[in-house]
Structure 1
Amino acid sequence: MASVTRRSVIGAALGAGAVAALAGCGDPVVWRSGRLDSDHWPGHRPRWRLALPKGSKAPPLVVVLHGRGGNADAAFDDLRLQDHVTRTGLAVASVDGGDLYWHARRSGADPGAMVTDDLLPLLRDESGYAGPLAFLGWSMGGYGSLLLASALGPRVVGAVVAESAALWTEPGASAPGAFDDREDFRAHDVFATSRTRVLARIPVRLDCGDTDPFVAANRAFARRLPSAHLTVDKGGHNTDYWRGHAAAQLDWVAARLRDGRGQ
């Protein structure tokens, strides 16, 4: 059983009373953060962050998976997802995932299992969310969002946003380091029928820029999963594109988590 640290980093330094005081200083977002001690990532203590709408009880939860080279800060420092928490009423959480593409690796690390086995129970305690959650990710995290949703299924996941998802239609085309070998690619291929059958029961939104290097693979995935809503519009594989789509994506997520009716 993984040991999970649930104290806020700020709380550990200042005490719970100071955290409450900071939350009341005009910021409509309540911040919590900490580190995980996870058996799924030996030798690492990944950081997590959580932005909650102030005064909300058990808000719907969005788990954000960052892209390659990112960390738990990217969702907030780069994409500014906290700017949409008050309007949507969503809680938004993020966690360090390294460059491991959110699945089990030969090294023994498994950031995907870290999310499902360690992070989600922690976030349930921290936010009080009770219903289906959503995944939102970009690039590596877009792939990871589809992968984890296909593993957890519609009882746990109520919506998925995969933007500029790092997808490949065959093992030889994947980026160096994304998979250990061809067998690893096949074991975690979101194009696989066993995974698309699950994803067909979950609302899936795909956004990709028209000059993004992954646009062809995203179009191919939309053909494989015709229930998904694909938007290809002007933009590339960069923070400007991802930040510019955040408001519409979180509005879309909020509608699906609240009404439970899917697409």
Structure 2
Amino acid sequence: MRRAAADGGGHVVSRRGLLLGAAALGGAALLSGCDAEKRPLVGPPPVAPPHSPAPLTEAVTVQRMRSAARNREVNLVIIAPDSASRVGLPVCVALHGRGADARTFLDLGVQDALNKVVAAGLPGFAVAAVDGDNYWVDVGKGDDPQRMLSEELPGWLAQRQLRPPSAMFGISMGGFGALRYAREHKDLKAVAVAGAALFVSWPDAKSRKVFADRAQWESHEPLLHTDELNGDATGVWCGNSDPFAGADRKLIKALDPAVGKMTPGEHNDDFWRGVMPEAFKFVGERIT
């Protein structure tokens, strides 16, 4: 299995180098529902984006992209199955949790889960992850992750001969963001969330020190807009010991999703890894 990313000078960064870079995130960064402090991150050298559409030459790539919507550079991580042609693959966007970045998904068994999807006879697809913050919404700080996902990410994917996003997968804060995105993109084939960081009340949301006021939170909170979500295209996974278990149970009750599973588990990387194969099978069954 060959997974690498080229640096700016054309050298190849090994799969081991990718994983070591991803491992620097640590387990604490993945406890994304908590107010984890952001830590300096290391990883493979950035790769210059292509000037014209060009297919991915490796199954795993990490690049730095300038996002006008976020007013900063962001990581763009693309992970594809080993055995599938990468030209024209459909794309599931993966949104990380609070205190992490897109490189989180390098160490969560994403490619193994994608390989299992293909081995099961389902169509292959790529996973694309980008950096986000503020529960993946615009909270008035000149930083709009939703606009990046809607207006910039499709062009970045097209540069690599990949299709526009047709599915979403989110963990913790990323679950909030994926459901928020789904409200505006009714054509999504699948939305899978694990341990989604949702808030049952304004005091709960206010404690995160993200939203400017109650009205801003209410405009974004997925639990207050379940009528705008497609339950038939949604899968929800959450651990019974997750601090957001109560909120996710409310989501399952209100939305009646295609999959709604509360199982033993906590809000951590072990749980994300455990549900990844099932969540991506759910996506793979619907994405094409």
With normalisation by structure 2, the TM-score equals: 0.75
C-alpha displacement at 1:11, in angstroms? 5.3
Query: 1:4-83 maps to which residues of 2 (within 5 A)?
Result: 10=6, 12-14=8-10, 30-42=59-71, 44-54=72-82, 55-56=84-85, 57-77=87-107, 79-83=108-112
Establish whether residue 255 from structure 1 lines up as the match of residue 288 from structure 2: no
Gaps of 5+ in 2: 16-56, 118-123
**Helix, strand or coil for the counterpart of 2:134?**
coil
Matched residue type, 2:97: G
Map residues 146-165 of structure 1 onto 2, 5 A cutoff: 146-153=179-186, 155=187, 157-165=188-196
- Compute the displacement of 1:107 (Å): 1.1
Please, which runs of 5 or more residues in structure 1 have no aligned partner? 1-7, 23-27, 259-263
Name 2:154's counterpart in structure 1: 120
Q: 1:75 to 1:115 in 2, by over 3 A?
A: same
Map Cα deviations across residues 135-173 of structure 1 (whole Å, 9 max, x no partner).
1011100111111111111x2x11011110001122111
Moved more, 241-250 or 31-40: 31-40
Report the alpha carbon displacement of residue 201 of structure 1 after superposing the two structures with TM: 6.0
RMSD of aligned Cα (Å) = 2.4
SS of alignment partner, residue 13 of structure 1: coil
Residue by residue over 1:201-257, the C-alpha shift from the partner in whole angstroms, topping out at 9 and shown as x without a partner, is: 651001000111111111111122124421000011111011011111111110111
Letter paired with 1:197:
D
Deviation at 1:127, TM superposition (A): 4.1
Equivalent-residue separation in structure 1 for 2:214 and 2:139 (angstroms): 13
Which residue is equivalent to 1:133? 166
1:209 matches 2:239 = yes
Distance of 2:268 and 2:110 partners within structure 1: 15
Percent identity between matched residues is 31
* Distance in 2 between residues matched to 1:100 and 1:145, nearest whole Å: 13
Offset at 1:196? 2.4
Q: C-alpha separation between the residues in 1 aligned to 2:258 and 2:244?
A: 16
Partner of 1:91: 126
Aligned residues: 235
CA distance in 2, matches of 1:33, 1:211: 33
Runs of 4+ in 1 over 3 A off after TM superposition: none
Q: Normalising by structure 1, report the TM-score.
A: 0.81
Deviations 1:9-31 (A, max 9, x none): 7253207xx69xx9xxxxx9622
- Secondary structure at 1:53's aligned position in 2? coil
CA–CA distance in 1 between the matches of 2:203 and 2:254? 19
- Partner residue, 2:34: none
